[in-house]
Amino acid sequence: MTAIAVEICVEASTIACVRRSAAAAEAGGAERIELCAAMHTQGLTPRPECIRAARAAFGKPGLLVMIRPRAGDFHYLPDELAIMEQQIHSAAACGADGIVLGVLRGDGELAQDELSRLVEAAHIHQLSVGFHRAFDAMPDRVAALPVLAELRVQRVLTAGIAWGQSGTALDGCGVLQRLSAAAPASLELVIGGGVSAENAPRLLQSLAPHRAKRSLHAFSAAYEGDCVSAQKVRALVDAASRL
């Protein structure tokens, strides 16, 4: 285990590729995987059979499952929230260790009541809870951090740049520094958005003065062809440890 944990996003395309990618992520030293379907839409809830395949192939705690019932914005109607709650129960039954979700109001602010309901559903099953890049769609991300911590969210995925804006986490370093300085001790910042073995040391060095818990999240930089490459994961893990 490295001081800076590495989390690999695994696309739930086919069961065979989920198995290969999850096993490769573990072999490369990743601490966690985030299983998502339809990454061309920024990720949706994967099918139960894909979750079970990932659980069989990733032989340690750290299987996180995306809970997102549709593409588009993060403001969900009551029937969509009910679907999300059921997806949480299903993910737990399939062997997940945690979930990743995001719920906002129509004005882009945090939907606290709805999030609290979904967090409670996750905690019934002892699942950890991460808040995905819906966080980067909020108007005041610094102010949202203590609220998320109070709602018992454990991790927040952010690139530092606004949701929908082009660029990588390197472009968001200024915001990431402010978030790192403001993050409560219980909240881990998961830095994602174009993260690779090449830019990870520079990215982490820019945040080094801050003591907030943080980890790295990678997707395309960990892939070779249709599946995750153990060698590319290992390169990122090694880069994350060089501080």
Task: Answer for the pair 243, 208: CB distance below 8 angstroms, yes or no.
Answer: yes
In degrees to the nearest 10, what's the CA dihedral of 25, 239, 154, 131? -70
pLDDT reported for residue 205: 87
The residue extents of the domains of the chain are 5-240
Tokens 């995001």 label which residue? 102
Query: What letters, b where the CB count within 10 A reaches 16 and e where it falls short, cover 33-50?
Result: bbbbbbbeebbbbbbeeb
- What residues form DSSP beta bridges with 130? 100, 155
Query: What letters, b where the CB count within 10 A reaches 16 and e where it falls short, cover 203-219?
Result: bbebbeebebbbbbbbb
pLDDT reported for residue 19: 98
Render pLDDT for 51-77 as a digit per residue (tens, 0 to 9).
999 999 999 999 999 999 999 999 999
Predicted TM-score (pTM) of the model is 0.95
pLDDT(211) > 80 = no
pLDDT(1) > 60 = no
Render pLDDT for 160-188 as a digit per residue (tens, 0 to 9).
999 989 999 999 999 999 999 999 999 99
pLDDT reported for residue 2: 45
Average pLDDT over residues 28-33: 98
Q: Can you name the CATH fold of 5-240?
A: TIM Barrel (3.20.20)
pLDDT reported for residue 241: 85
169's CB contacts (< 8 A; 6+ apart) are 159, 160, 161, 176, 191, 192, 193, 194, 195, 199, 203
Question: What's the chain look like in SS3?
Answer: CCCCEEEEEEECCCHHHHHHHHHHHHHCCCCEEEEEECHHHCCECCCHHHHHHHHHHCCCCCEEEECCCCCCCCCCCHHHHHHHHHHHHHHHHCCCCEEEECCECCCCCECHHHHHHHHHHHHHCCCEEEECHHHHHCCCHHHHHHHHHHCCCCEEEECCCCCCCCCCCCCCHHHHHHHHHHCCCCCEEEEECCCCCCCHHHHHHHHCCCCCCEEEEECHHHEECCEECHHHHHHHHHHHCCC
